[in-house]
């Protein structure tokens, strides 16, 4: 075991195995999803995740997210309490236009998270949208996953 640890410490950087490397940005086609901030409120026992979505392709209609929950390192699941597009609170489903080269800011609030939770293990981010010029009932559905990112408690 000691030899293995020494080999890892003396090997070139490319040989390192990185465990729990945060995944805070994911690209799917013309869309880039980025976690901008993850802020915990100690008093409220709540976490807010701010996401930017950037579109480098065609303007999209009826863009919506279907975020439901996040999970911590111990397997605890926290349900979505509130969602915001820009500064507007969203009730039910969120649908917005997603224009080319204009980022869309979304915030998600999860309650009941104690400050001892330091890391979000999984934030599944399912979305759907309509591409103009296609059948109005045809929606593209896809999902991205953010993993292993820390909470900044205040």
Question: Average pLDDT for residues 78-95, to the nearest whole number?
Answer: 85
pTM: predicted TM-score of the whole model, two decimal places? 0.83
Note the pLDDT of residue 14. 44
What is the residue-wise DSSP string for the chain? -HHHHHHHHHS-GGG---SS--B-EEEETTEEEEEEEEEEETTTTEEEEEEEEEE-SS-EEEEEE---EEEETTS-EEEEEEEEETTEEE-SS--EEE-TT--EEEEEEEES--TT--EEEEEEEEEEEE-TTS-TT--EEEEEEEEEEE-EE-
**11-58 per-position pLDDT tens digit:** 444 444 344 678 899 999 999 999 999 999 999 999 999 999 999 999
Note the pLDDT of residue 20. 66
In whole angstroms, what is the distance from residue 152 CA to residue 23 CA?
A: 16
**89-141 per-position pLDDT tens digit:** 887 666 788 999 999 999 999 999 999 999 999 999 999 988 888 888 888 89
């Amino acid at each position: 075991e000691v030899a293995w640890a020494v080999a890892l410490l003396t090997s070139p950087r490319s040989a390192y195995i990185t465990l729990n490397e945060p995944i805070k940005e994911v690209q799917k086609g013309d869309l880039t999803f980025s976690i901008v901030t993850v802020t915990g409120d100690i008093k409220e026992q709540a976490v807010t995740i701010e996401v930017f979505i950037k579109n480098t392709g065609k303007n999209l209609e009826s863009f919506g997210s279907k975020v439901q929950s996040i999970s911590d390192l111990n397997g605890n699941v926290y349900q979505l309490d509130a969602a915001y597009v820009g500064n507007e609170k969203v009730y039910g489903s969120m649908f917005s236009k997603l224009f080319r080269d204009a980022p869309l800011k979304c915030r998600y609030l999860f309650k009941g998270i104690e400050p001892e939770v330091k890391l979000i293990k999984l934030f599944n981010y399912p979305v759907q949208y309509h591409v103009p010029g296609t059948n109005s009932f045809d929606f593209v559905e896809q999902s991205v996953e953010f993993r292993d990112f820390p909470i900044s408690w205040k």
